A and B are shown apart, each in its own frame.
Chain A
Amino acid sequence: MQQGIYSDFPLKRIFHYEWARLWRTDSIILSSVFFIIVLGVGYGSSFTGNESAAVAMISQGMPSLGRLFTVFFVILSLGGDYSQGTFRKRLISGYGRVDIMFSTFWILIQGVILFVLLAFIALLLTKFVTGINLMSYFTGSKIMNLMLIQLVHGSLAVLLISVIQRTGIAILIYFVVGLVEGGIAIYFMIKLQDPGLSILLPLNGSEIYASLPSDAPFWKYLPTPFYVLAFFFISWLKIKKAEF
């Protein structure tokens, strides 16, 4: 029997549940690994002795790290809920399916903020230890770019885990999507001589979208938000009908 779709379940309790999720062992391990890697990358790049070069290296590496860990965080968190029957238990105790959707959205937002904060703290520590000021990475624009890329990759993660409900397979498919997109991007670049077409791809496109010049044609602003909308909408359709 399908449980209720909408509910009066208080938002405060949903936030409370999801906050507790951050203190689960898998979240702590994931956060610690991310923190140590950023610390290591920051410390390593300080060996260049040139602040601009070190910041440039961090600028190159941070979006890759941020998006990967956000995807892991979302898939591991939700995958655990599916495999352990957490959603089933919550539905029985008065949760609606719309609350599951809201939780899913909030997990992504938490993941995005968590890894930006951890990167901030790690680079602040690097500054104190090495004297190289990597904090200059944290301009408003860089943070927004990082969060944007995390959001897009995380949205795909939401879709994958909502549809597949299996952690391992969802992570595998995420990487397969990345590989396929890489192949298409190379085709655009070599065969069509227009790497800018990669903006039509969900993941590669987000990175181009993140730094579109102000005079870019209007259509280039459309694909990435459309993909995010589609990922969440399809996830909702799946959550609405899923057997938990």
Chain B
Amino acid sequence: MYKLIISIAVPVILVVLFGQFGEGIGMNIFPGQPQADVATLEKGLKEMLPPIDTAKNQAIIINRWATWCGPCIKEIPDLNKLVDTYGDQATFIAVSDESKEHVANWISGRENFEFNFKLISGDLQLVALLNTLDNETKGSAIPVHYLINSDYMVEKVLLGASASNIAEIEAFLKKKLKGVDRVTIDLL
């Protein structure tokens, strides 16, 4: 009988334990070696993003999007408003895993389309890095917004296109851009 209990209970116990002590705790079994923890990944992010003057730019907002993603396109006007309001003191980057040519063709085919973020397309290494930093879906769902401070620490990852996410990005920007008096933008 104990064999049966072991056979059924152990897999469940292991799943519960691995779930509890997995990504959240980040146990290091090889001390002394550089680890693939968040800090290492953030260091990689600094290396892979275009040079940013962090003295002038107190926050970095990265938007993971794609031309085929309806919700991503729908929220672009709201994102543009953030750039209009905070663009002089924060860096806004939009990352797509599609090729540069595809994104350029897609944009040129739309007369009134405007995306005021700095566009990075086809950089699959950067996409993989961002996906790894997205704990919830690992990049399987977009749009995703990464709210990053001037030390390249990812403070928050927001999933999905929603007014509450835009409001949260704005709150983050307001907090980081201290002393800057801004008017809250009207969401569409």
Which A residues fall within an 8 A CB radius of B?
Answer: 6, 11, 48, 50-53, 55-57, 59-60, 98-99, 101-102, 104-105, 108-109, 133, 135-145, 147-148, 151-152, 155, 185, 189-190, 193-196, 198, 207-214, 221, 224-225, 228-229, 232-233, 236
Contact = CB atoms under 8 A, between A and B. Distances in A.
Contacts of A236: 4, 7-8
A151 B44 contact: no
Interface in B101-158: 125-126, 128-129, 131-132, 135-141
A136 B47 contact: no
Interface string B42-81: 0111011000000000000000000000110000000000
Nearest to B161: A193
A139 B8 contact: no
B85 to A, nearest CB: 26
Contact of A151 (B11, B47, B129, B136): B11
Contacts of A185: 140
Contacts of B188: none
B179 interface: no
Q: Closest 8 CB pairs between A and B?
A: A52-B44, A140-B27, A53-B125, A148-B18, A105-B7, A211-B23, A195-B141, A102-B3
B184 interface: no
Interface of B is mostly: helix
B144 to A, nearest CB: 10
B24 A233 contact: no
Given A140-B25, A148-B18, A212-B24, 6 more contacts: A53-B128, A56-B132, A102-B6, A139-B36, A141-B26, A229-B12
A14 to B, nearest CB: 8
9 contacts: A56-B128, A136-B35, A141-B22, A142-B36, A148-B19, A195-B159, A225-B16, A229-B12, A232-B7
A235 to B, nearest CB: 9
Interface of B: 1, 3-4, 6-8, 10-12, 14-19, 21-30, 33-37, 40-41, 43-45, 47-48, 70-71, 125-126, 128-129, 131-132, 135-141, 159-160, 162
Given A207-B138, A225-B16, A98 B22 contact: no
A20 B181 CA distance: 72
A141 B27 contact: yes
Contacts of A209: 19
B127 to A, nearest CB: 9
A60 B8 contact: no
Contacts of B71: 190, 193
